[in-house]
Structure 1
Amino acid sequence: MTGITFTPIGVVHSPFRDPRNMPIQPVGARGVRGTVELDPVYAAGVKDLAGFSRIILLYHLHRSEGYTLEVVPFLDTAPHGVFATRAPRRPNAIGLSILRLVAVDGTTLHVEDVDILDGTPVLDIKPYVPAFDAYPDERAGWLAAGAEDPRTVRSDGRFC
């Protein structure tokens, strides 16, 4: 396989400067505000985005180094394959968060439920569409066995 190169389209600004003790998922960051500052060259790309209540943000986990194929995730004490978790130390350090879109001001997106480190490079934005993206009756693998509550668990630095 050949390498793939991405160019960031913007940056996340959040209250989280250190990966330790921050929320591990947007559900644990309810009400936490931040912004997504896009490069002005992408201004036309946000046309009609304000009509959506949520966005899917794809970003580079820029502080994650290396990876392991088995990890002990934040929500469990047993090791799992990295692809069965949302752990940040992955072969391709790509993160995904579904955020509430509060407002669009030019190339600044005001968002809530931010579980992302300040200064994180943004790779892409997609609208969250419930008819396409919500599957509430699906299986949740090992998480269904009573994993810890993601609303209260905070990063402990194990992936720093």
Structure 2
Amino acid sequence: MPSALRFEPVATVVGGRSEPVDDDWDGVEAIVRLDERFEPEALDGLAEFSHVEVVYVFDRVDPADVETGARHPRGNERWPRVGIFAQRAKDRPNRIGVSICRLLLVEGCDLHVAGLDAVDGTPVLDLKPVMAEFAPRGETRQPEWARELMAGYWISS
């Protein structure tokens, strides 16, 4: 296993929120702007999709705050203590975030999106169209604490 991997951002989040908060991300609109090394043709065909998956870095998380074990999600002791890989917290070992957001418009090297839970200036590692065939197959399940945690994440509760 390699000891270190190196990635160059392909884009940057422009606009939207300036600070990370826990809830109400659905109405947030932002632009994902491709790096100058890309031409608009890198986005050819993407506008035909309704959603885009954005892989990004939680670059504002202090490496000293990274969690490698278990904790109560959001520090809420009513919820069980679970491992970092059983939650979607930003202070994870590689500080990588993944979000599926609505694609509103492709304009040159800009993707106008809604529901991207990343803040202004966030480095983007990759973009992928969302295809129905990549949705979970079969029945999905999750614990009740996760339902409670996510109740207001996208839409105000």
**TM-score normalised by the chain length of structure 1:** 0.81
Displacement of 1:151: 4.1
1:110–1:86 Cα change, 3 Å: same
CA distance in structure 1 between the aligned counterparts of 2:99 and 2:80, rounded to whole angstroms: 24
The DSSP-based 3-state class of the residue aligned with 2:150 is: coil
Question: 1:3 maps to what in 2?
Answer: 4
Q: Which letter does structure 2 place at the counterpart of 1:127?
A: P
Aligned equivalents of 1:149 and 1:47: distance in 2? 37
What secondary structure is seen at the aligned counterpart in 2 of 1:40? coil
- Deviation string 1:116-158 (CA, Å, 9 cap, x unpaired) is 1111000000111112224461222xx345641524259xxxx
- Determine the structure 2 residue equivalent to 1:13: 14
**Contact 2:12/2:34, CA 8 A, preserved across alignment:** yes
Distance 1:95 1:103 in 2: 22
1:4-153 matches, within 5 Å, as 4-19=5-20, 21-23=21-23, 28-43=24-39, 44-66=41-63, 67-68=66-67, 69-74=69-74, 77-135=79-137, 137-140=139-142, 143-144=143-144, 147-153=147-153
Amino acid at match of 2:9: P
CA distance in 2, matches of 1:147, 1:52: 28
CA contact (8 A) 1:71 1:80 kept: yes
Q: Quick one: distance in 2 between partners of 1:37 and 1:151?
A: 30
Percent identity over paired residues: 33
- Report if aligned partners of 1:71, 1:87 keep a CA contact under 8 Å in 2: no
Secondary structure of 2:42's counterpart equals: helix
For 1:145 and 1:63, the matched residues in 2 are separated by 26
Structure 1 alignment gaps of length 5 or more: 155-160
